[in-house]
Amino acid sequence: MNRLHNKVAVITGGASGIGAAVARLFVAEGARVMACDIQDPLDTELARLLQEKPESVRFSRCDASNEAQVSATVAATLAAFDAPISAAVACAGVPGQGSDIDLAVEEWDRIMAINARGVWLLTKHVLPSMIAGGGGSITNISSAYGCVGAPGFAAYCASKGAVRTFTKSTAIEHARQGVRANSIHPGVIETPMLQGIFDRSGDPDATREAFSAQQPNGFNGAPEDIAWGCVYLASDEARFVNGIELPIDGGLLAG
């Protein structure tokens, strides 16, 4: 407990899935958290915390790809907690299926705007507070598909690969200012986003089995599996960890 005591964090994509799990665990570990998302909280436990612990967790409606909204969320975080931001976790993302031949320009731009531009915007707007406060930790959620390619996920792979290398650039550029930046690369994680892929497939059970079959251990991960990695990277335990890509994927990338 209290691994994140006195830290102030901003988490995009915080309404459900990985983002909500990160917000809940950060609060449990002593952080003060601004969770934000384009939709209202869907995670019932996070919704309860918002009611019961407003001194520890707040929520802001925010489109992660919209600079004005990201800037406003960062400003609201500073006003709510009256302390510099010391941790940021970029969880907002969309799946984006389609081959490189068939993908429409508009769909490519939408996926890149949320998955890649959104990560940059959060970094851009939390950095001044982190630097002024003596440093901090930025954790960007990429994907196993940010390290390898996959058929039918052209824009998704491109966007998550961009997150991977952008994070390394941030790590190098701001290391002397006390800011660490790392990316996490989940495997198949049971989230509402993944469920949406199953539901749109025409045969959700078969699609779930196909995704699970990619995992060497034969089962999918939970949002908390990723969230614990975020806790570690935001904590002082990770003070010498900078610029890494951390797979939390059940061994998916080991094959």
For the chain, 255 residues long, give each residue's pLDDT as a single digit of tens. 799 999 999 999 999 999 999 999 999 999 999 999 999 999 999 999 999 999 999 999 999 999 999 999 999 999 999 999 999 999 999 988 778 888 999 999 999 999 999 999 999 999 999 999 999 999 999 999 999 998 888 999 999 999 999 999 999 999 999 999 999 999 989 887 777 777 777 888 888 888 788 788 888 899 999 999 999 999 999 999 999 999 999 999 997
Instruction: Give the end-to-end CA distance of the chain in Å, rounded to a whole number.
Output: 35
Sequence-separated (6 or more) residues with CB below 8 Å from residue 107:
96, 98, 155
Rounded CA-CA distance 48/68 in Å is 28
- Map residue 247 onto helix, strand or coil: strand
Q: What does the DSSP 8-state code read for residue 116?
A: I
The pLDDT value given to residue 10: 98
Asked if 145 is an active-site residue, the reply is: no
Rounded CA-CA distance 30/3 in Å is 7
Q: Which of 122, 125, 152 is nearest to 140 (CA)?
A: 122
The pLDDT value given to residue 242: 98
For the entire predicted model, the pTM comes to: 0.93
Assign 3-class secondary structure to 21-82: HHHHHHHHCCCEEEEEECCCCCCHHHHHHHHHCCCCEEEEECCCCCHHHHHHHHHHHHHHHC
Structure tokens that stand for 113 in this block? 């705007």
The pLDDT value given to residue 160: 98
Crossing angle of the two packed helices 44-52 and 17-28, in degrees rounded to 10: 40
Taking phi over 0 as left and psi of -120 to 50 as alpha, with beta for the rest, 64 belongs to alpha
> Per the residue annotation, which of 153, 156, 198, 211 is the catalytic one?
156
